[in-house]
């Protein structure tokens, strides 16, 4: 039997309570975080494209 501290619903409710007590963010903080996430997405997209190009040889492309 699972201990109460390992019960998924208990853990969910505990995390939910902690999240609800977090302070609100200012619009500038939200904008900064969104910009950072956009940059990370772009960087990951470029790295994925770079990896795909490395798989092709010159004869595969021509």
Query: 18 lies in a domain?
Result: no
Query: 39 lies in a domain?
Result: yes
Query: 9 lies in a domain?
Result: no
Query: 14 lies in a domain?
Result: no
Cα-only R_g, the chain = 22
Residue 54 has a pLDDT of: 65
Query: 10 lies in a domain?
Result: no
Reported as a single tens digit per residue, the pLDDT across 3-61 is 567 889 999 999 999 999 999 999 999 999 999 999 999 888 887 776 666 666 777 76
Query: 1 lies in a domain?
Result: no
Write out the residue range of the structural domain in which residue 47 sits: 25-62
Query: 6 lies in a domain?
Result: no
* Distance of alpha carbon 39 from alpha carbon 35, whole angstroms: 6
Q: Residue 13 to residues 3, 5, 8, 24: CA-CA distances in angstroms?
A: 15, 11, 9, 20
Q: How many residues does the chain have?
A: 62
| Residue 2 vs residue 43, higher pLDDT | 43
Residue 10 has a pLDDT of: 94
Query: 17 lies in a domain?
Result: no
DSSP 3-49: -GGG-HHHHHHHHHHHHHTSPPPPHHHHHHHHHHHHHHHHHHHHHHH
Number of domains in the chain: 1
């Amino acid at each position: 039997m699972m201990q109460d501290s390992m019960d998924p619903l208990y853990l969910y409710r505990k995390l939910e309570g902690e999240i609800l007590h977090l302070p609100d963010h200012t619009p500038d903080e939200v904008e900064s975080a969104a910009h950072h996430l956009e940059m990370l997405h772009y960087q990951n997209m470029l790295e994925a494209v770079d990896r795909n190009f490395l798989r092709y040889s010159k004869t595969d492309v021509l």
